[in-house]
Amino acid sequence: MSTPSLKPAPLHRLRTSRRLAMGAGVLALSLGLAACGSGSPSGSEEDTTSAGTGSEAASGELTSITVGAIPIGDVAPIHVGVKEGFFEDEGLDVEIVNTSGGAIAVPGVVAGDYDFAFGNTVSLMVARDQGLPLRYVANGTTTTGEEGKDFAAVIALEDSELETSADLQGNTASSNNLMNIGDTSIRLAVDNDGGDGADMDFIELAFGDAAAAVQNGQVEAALVLEPYLTRSLDAGLKAVSWPYAEAHPDLDIGGYFTSEETIEQRPEDVEAFTRAMRKSMEFSQENPEVVREVIGEYTEMDPEILDRITLPRFKADFSREAMTALGEAAVKYGVIDDAPDLDALLPEETP
């Protein structure tokens, strides 16, 4: 996912990840799993694996964990949780490592470079479909469920004949990644609006390039997320579809995952992380002014734009119903081969 330019975050230590050391087989499986983009941050030769266990927290020492997270508004709750001390209360010393998306986060967790990472729901479905033993332990970001007031929309020219999701049938749109959550959710939104989501073409464009591509006629429509959505509307473009909200009003876009090995071998750390993330999600939903302040601390988003962007909804629990609908669409449109096993993908006791 293209992001605003970054500056060093004052909240806590941020260090870039070292070049991932993994076998060619794992890398091959991981290509195309970008949560919101691809590429790699600059390397550091420090070891980023966890330095402790849950038993250390019991003795008064904090357990160090690393979390790979793309520096965008979606991951604000984990930054909020660090700032508010929710992780420290659970005995964890969290280091957030900037990633550029799932192409780094997924293999980073598989290789043990990150204890946990943020990734979108279709990327994790793809990972499981390809045999990678990954599982969500905490939700991360959810659509507002409100058409006309969400953090993701498909934009078009103001004088375009496109007005609704169904109108996208037969047209070409852009998404930041192909065969991922963007195009899958748009196709599902078109289906839900009475159109045929299969009758669309997609090209891959970064969010930062999408508005210009619409303006110069490269595509009829383009998917953009905040802050690019607010900027696009300011530039005179219009929103014709709200794919996340229209795909399902409770659609969960991304969350925090780890490996099954970590869940089995370090259950106390996983449970502590999950408890702290739930507190962070609930606090963030109740305190949007804190979320906006924190986003401004780990990105260089224009303060005037930051005050006007639509924030995601932050809720602690995944929606199994919404994930089922998304998984069925992913199978229908060839993103994955088989319907995802939600019992294996989602945290236990997901409603």
Domains of the chain, each with CATH number or no CATH: 24-143+250-345 (3.40.190.10), 152-247 (3.40.190.10)
Average pLDDT over residues 241-250: 98
Name the least confident of 10-24, 65-79, 134-148, 182-196: 10-24
pLDDT of residue 106: 92
Q: Is the pLDDT of residue 71 over 50?
A: yes
- Count Cβ atoms within 10 A of the Cβ of residue 160 and give its class: 0-12 exposed, 13-18 middle, 19 or more buried: middle
CA 155 vs CA 169, 231, 242, 276: distances in Å:
14, 11, 9, 36
Q: Cα 315 to chain center, whole Å?
A: 14
pLDDT of residue 349: 77
pLDDT of residue 45: 33
Please tell me the pTM assigned to this model: 0.83
Average pLDDT over residues 178-183: 95
Q: Is the pLDDT of residue 2 over 60?
A: no
Q: Is the pLDDT of residue 35 over 80?
A: no
pLDDT of residue 322: 98
The sign of the torsion formed by the CA atoms of 261, 139, 312, 306 equals: negative
Backbone angles phi, psi at 137, to 5 degrees: -120, -15
Average pLDDT over residues 75-99: 97
pLDDT of residue 59: 55
Q: Is the pLDDT of residue 16 over 60?
A: no
Which band of pLDDT confidence, cut at 50, 70 and 90, is reported for residue 300? confident
Q: Is the pLDDT of residue 29 over 80?
A: no
Q: Is the pLDDT of residue 235 over 60?
A: yes
Decide: 34 and 177 in contact? Cβ < 8 Å. yes
Question: Within 10 A of 265 (CB to CB), how many other CB atoms are there?
Answer: 11
Q: How does the average pLDDT of the chain come out, rounded?
A: 86
Question: Within 10 A of 22 (CB to CB), how many other CB atoms are there?
Answer: 16
Average pLDDT over residues 61-71: 96
Average pLDDT over residues 272-278: 98
Q: Is the pLDDT of residue 60 over 50?
A: yes
